[in-house]
Chains A and B, each alone.
Chain A
């Protein structure tokens, strides 16, 4: 248990569906992240939120829409996805933003295994 939970753990959806991934952290952290991990590819940072404000969006397609209603919750809304979006989606949190200077350890959730048919 890392203190970061994700639901659902598995999701199968069609290309026309709309679904949402949920992440919750119980660590009192200020920063939260979404990563995508495809088979045999490195972790790709998608979004970063710090104090509920989005601070980074690494050119992610608009069919992925993040939402951070408070510092403990992070959502990833999905719509009209493509089969190549099938991957493990990981949520992480850290005390403060990771960047130059003192590093903040990231705590990862177990991930949501997404399959797009």
Chain B
């Protein structure tokens, strides 16, 4: 099972770039890396997904080194509204036809003014 490890919490200030790293040493060849954002009392929301190298969309970038044993979510110029918990997810194929979806404990990002 591709277990993920992330920092429990991070603090930042408005306008700064925030980088959150996730370790997934047992990632399988076919696994994709996905990041979700969750606000209190809401369901997680998809941010970005990647397989290798770099992926960028309108809200974030995802950096994945060649060995794929880690990944870094980069949030440019964060604002107060980016305060949330960020989850790194690696979809692993396990028993049965459905892969095991293992969310880590997430990183609680606090953005201060």
| A-to-B contact residues, CB < 8 Å | 2, 4, 33, 41-43, 45, 48, 50, 55-56, 88, 90-92, 97-103, 105-111, 113
C-alpha spacing A101/B30, complex, angstroms: 5
| Contact B99 A97, beta carbon cutoff 8 Å | yes
Q: How far is the CB of B107 from chain A (nearest CB, A)?
A: 12
Question: What would 12 A/B residue contacts be, using CB atoms closer than 8 Å?
Answer: A33-B101, A42-B104, A56-B96, A91-B43, A97-B97, A97-B99, A98-B98, A98-B101, A99-B93, A100-B31, A102-B32, A109-B43
> Are A43 and B45 touching (Cβ within 8 A)?
no
Q: In the bound complex, do residue B99 and residue A105 qualify as a contact, i.e. CB atoms below 8 Å apart?
A: no
Chain B contact patch, size range: 20 to 34
Which residue numbers of B lie inside 8 Å of A, CB to CB? Answer: 28, 30-32, 34, 41-46, 49, 87, 91-93, 96-106
Complex CA distance for A42 and B92, rounded to whole angstroms: 17
Contact with B92, one of A97, A100, A106, A108 (Cβ below 8 angstroms):
A100
Please judge, given known A-B contacts A99-B93, A103-B32, A103-B34, whether A45 and B42 are in contact too, CB under 8 Å.
Answer: no
Distance of A106 Cα from B44 Cα, bound (Å): 9
A99 to chain B, nearest CB (A): 3
- Contact indicator A55/B96 (Cβ below 8 Å): yes
Cα–Cα, bound, A4→B44 (Å): 12
Give the shortest distance, in Å, between A2 (CB) and chain B (any CB): 7
A5 to chain B, nearest CB (A): 11
CA of A42 to CA of B41, assembled, Å = 14
Asked if A100 and B42 sit within 8 Å, CB to CB, the answer is no
